[in-house]
Amino acid sequence: MENLDSDLLRTFVAVAEAGSVTDGAARIHRSQSATSLQIKRLENILGHPVFERHGRGVVLTETGRRLLPVANEVTDRLDSALRDISQSVIQGKLRLGIPDDHGKARLAEIVARFTRLHPQVELEVTCALSTGFPKALERGQMDLAVYEVEHPSPGEEVLFEDPTRWVSSATRDFSDADTLPVALFDHACWWRDAAIRSLKARGRPYRVIYSSQSVSGVTAAVKAGVAVGLLGKASLERGLSVMAASHGFGPTPPSKLVLAHGSGSGRAPLAAMADVIRAAFMASADRTDSQSN
């Protein structure tokens, strides 16, 4: 009788938590094909499938649902034993900044994984408008932060790039508008400058009728059909329509989501959290790529 290998259980947990083989592979830094082979080997040992394909992802079978709590307990206990025996327990405090528009979907995942791996680190998380994060890092008010920039600076690690698009409500046509109504981000955000450059290159009248600090605010105005707006491709959702090139907008730069840290940060907690963040955003980038293909 074959034994269940802990490596197979880790792969199984990663895929189960991510909801797809592609995203699970990104979490454990393996290729999709290698991850699929490990899941197949696990299923051969068990004699039953652990996943069923569902749309672009996977869902647990009855066998998978029975195995998941056991796999979580085994891998967590092994991690705990390794930390205790090697005396490499990471301790301290970490102050983290995550942008609210990008962080809400991933914050629970990031915090859950980090605290499971490093329970003795105290986390202080700010999930808010990220325009102030670089200054907070510079002043020593944050240790690690994720935020968006147009042009990365030295020390800012790019997590992924998000193309920007002019969008409107799927039910509203602005092609005949004499003066184009526009929803923009507020004056503190580089997105506003990029949008205005694009509007000026268009060479037609426009009027800013709505400003917001957040993606959700701009999206709400666009979905309501009262204005057009510049949004990242990753933020597009049902009810929004990308405006055709015939509208004459000038080019818009991609948004780059970066990871940066302060100079006085504790190295061990910072490095551990950076690894968790990279895995979470790598999975997101892979999900966006798979949806566009």
**Domain boundaries along the sequence of the chain:** 6-86, 92-161+256-292, 164-253
Q: How sure is the predictor about 266, in pLDDT bands with cuts at 50, 70 and 90? A: low
pLDDT digits (tens, 9 = 90+) for 115-127: 877 888 899 998 8
- Out of 17-21, 55-59, 74-78, 207-211, the most confident range is 207-211
Residue 105: per-residue pLDDT: 61
pLDDT digits (tens, 9 = 90+) for 161-211: 889 999 999 999 898 889 999 999 887 678 899 999 999 999 999 999 999
Domains 92-161+256-292 and 164-253 are alike in CATH topology: yes
DSSP H/E element including 88: none
Q: How sure is the predictor about 215, in pLDDT bands with cuts at 50, 70 and 90? A: confident
Average pLDDT over residues 269-274: 88
Residues 6+ apart with CB under 8 A from 264: 140
Measured in whole angstroms, how far is the alpha carbon of residue 81 from the centre of its chain? 31
Q: Strands 180-185, 121-128: parallel, antiparallel or unpaired by DSSP?
A: unpaired
In the predicted structure, residue 60 carries a pLDDT above the cut 50: yes
Residue 86: per-residue pLDDT: 64
How far is the CA of 193 from the CAs of 150, 189, 196, 230, 253, in angstroms?
A: 10, 8, 5, 11, 11
Residues 6+ apart with CB under 8 A from 233: 162, 163, 164, 165, 288, 292
Helices in the chain by DSSP H: which ranges? 6-18, 21-27, 32-46, 62-86, 100-103, 107-117, 133-138, 190-202, 215-223, 267-292
pLDDT digits (tens, 9 = 90+) for 235-255: 888 899 999 888 899 999 998
Residue 283: per-residue pLDDT: 55
Give the orientation angle of helix 267-292 with respect to helix 107-117, to 10 degrees.
140
pLDDT digits (tens, 9 = 90+) for 72-120: 999 888 877 776 776 567 788 899 998 876 656 677 778 888 887 788 8
DSSP H/E element including 210: strand 206-212
Scored b (16 or more CB within 10 A) or e, 102-112 reads: bbeebbebbbe
Name 182's bridge partners: 208, 228
In the predicted structure, residue 282 carries a pLDDT above the cut 50: yes
d(CA 25, CA 16): 11
Q: Pull the structure tokens for residue 246.
A: 């015939």
Residue 88: per-residue pLDDT: 63
| CATH architecture for residues 92-161+256-292 | 3-Layer(aba) Sandwich (3.40)
User: CATH code for 6-86?
Assistant: 1.10.10.10
Average pLDDT over residues 27-53: 92
Domain 164-253 has CATH 3.40.190.10: yes
